[in-house]
Structure 1
Amino acid sequence: MQLASRKVRTEGVTRPGVADLMNEAGLTHGGFYKHFASRDDLIAQASAVALAEGTAKMERATHKNDEDPRAGLIDAYLAKLHRDTPSTGCALVTLGAAAGRGDQHLKDAYEEQVRTYLELITGLNDDTENTRAEAMLTLSALVGAVLISRAVADKNFSDELLQAVAEQLKRYGSQAPSALA
């Protein structure tokens, strides 16, 4: 399942073929049906695993900066390493479009992960006013920045994008809510 999870994060849900996955896992194509009802079943399970694995990484990232856990999360998420290793990165980035077009199981798994991340980000803020909206803004900016940084061809531009979004998110988070009104 870990192999399929990495493939889904790297290639999305439409590309990995059963034969390729089984070959990489050292299993026969026929053995596939002992474990999964269909390719869709495999993709759904792999997607759920890929999404859920992100929670522990996000929680660890908040401990990278004891003085400002939100900044630690931002720095870890917008790191070049995260951009450059989609196979172990956040599945929200890779699976967003597929979840939008996907079946109910994928949509539910995606939404559950979004809600989990929002709860985690909301919990990092001592001020309860507007924290849910701020968490939504933060998560959207994080996911969007990694998505765009992976899609552009110019690495310098990609690096600039990650750095600029990180700086702006940290600046926004350090302002008092009254200053934002």
Structure 2
Amino acid sequence: MGHSQTEKAATRERVLRIASRKVRADGMTGPGVAEVMKEAGLTHGGFYKHFASRDDLIAQAAAAALTEGSATVERLAGKNQQDLRTGLIDAYLGKRHRDSPATGCALVTLGAAAGRGDQPLKESYEQRVRAYLDRFGGDDSEEARAEAMLTLSALVGATLLSRAVADPALSDELLETVAEQLKRQ
């Protein structure tokens, strides 16, 4: 008995969501087809009903990761209704975001891969960068644009560094100090 188009689309989205989380957590080379399909409760053989190849899955998962991770951070930032910029800084440089790369912003986890990646990945990455710059840039003045670039670079860099160091105290200090400095601007 065949599956309806709705069921097939739902299955495809589930596989893509799982792969997206794995790409954010483990990078572009991390997730294997068998691993993703097993977590989705499917057989490896069913994979090709949904994706042309592993590369196709990973490319689509990376694009989804960039969108989903940003949406999560935006949702957390929205808790500060008085100052959305401060809310975004707090959400991005929070321990929750640092400790949850699988559900966080993929600008951090996919930066190096995008730098070495193909044009579609670079374009997906650039879309997220531009969205954040617009979010911070506000009035489009040269000064506001420069501040937006500095803020985004500090957010991504501090999060990357805080995840990469072994010393938990240094990791916390990176997040707290950069957040404090950004809020002073």
**TM-score, length-scaled by structure 1:** 0.89
Structure 2: which 5+ residue stretches go unaligned? 1-15
Show structure 1 runs of 4+ deviating over 6 A. Answer: none
1:52 Cα deviation after fit: 0.9
* Consecutive unaligned residues in structure 1, runs of 5 or more: 173-181
Instruction: Establish whether residue 67 from structure 1 lines up as the match of residue 78 from structure 2.
Output: no
Alignment-derived partner of residue 22 in structure 2: 7
| SS of alignment partner, residue 78 of structure 2 | helix
1:116 alignment partner in structure 2: 131
Deviations for 1:68-92, whole angstroms, at most 9, x for unmatched residues?
2211110111000000011100000
Q: After superposition, what is the alpha-carbon deviation per residue over 1:78-128, rounded to whole angstroms, capped at 9, x for unaligned?
A: 0000000111000000000000111111111001111111111113xx684
The 1:7–1:127 alpha-carbon spacing in structure 2 relative to 1, beyond 3 Å, is closer
Paired position in structure 1 for 2:117: 102
Contact residue 55 and residue 116 of structure 1 kept, 8 A: no
| Alpha-carbon separation, structure 2, partners of 1:144 and 1:85 | 16
2:155 to 142, 157, 160: 142
8 Å CA contact 1:8, 1:50 repeated in 2: yes
CA contact (8 A) 1:150 1:158 kept: yes
CA RMSD of aligned residues (A): 1.5
AA partner of residue 101 (structure 1): R
Residue of 55, 59, 66 corresponding to 1:51: 66
Instruction: Give the AA of the match of 2:171.
Output: S
- Partner Cα separation in structure 2 for residue 39 and residue 7 of structure 1: 13
Which structure is richer in relative contact order (CA contacts within 8 A, separation 6 or more)? Answer: 1
| TM-score under structure 2 length normalisation | 0.87
Q: How many residues align?
A: 170
Report if the CA contact (8 A) 1:9-1:94 is conserved: yes
Aligned to 1:22: 37
SS in structure 2 of the partner of residue 26 of structure 1? coil
C-alpha separation between the residues in 2 aligned to 1:4 and 1:59?
21
Instruction: Confirm or deny: 8 A CA contact 2:72 2:104 kept in the other structure.
Output: no
| Residue 81 (structure 1) aligned to one of 96, 104, 116 | 96
Q: Which one is further off, 6-15 or 50-59?
A: 50-59
Match of 1:133 among 118, 121, 146: 146
**Helix, strand or coil: the match of 1:40?**
helix
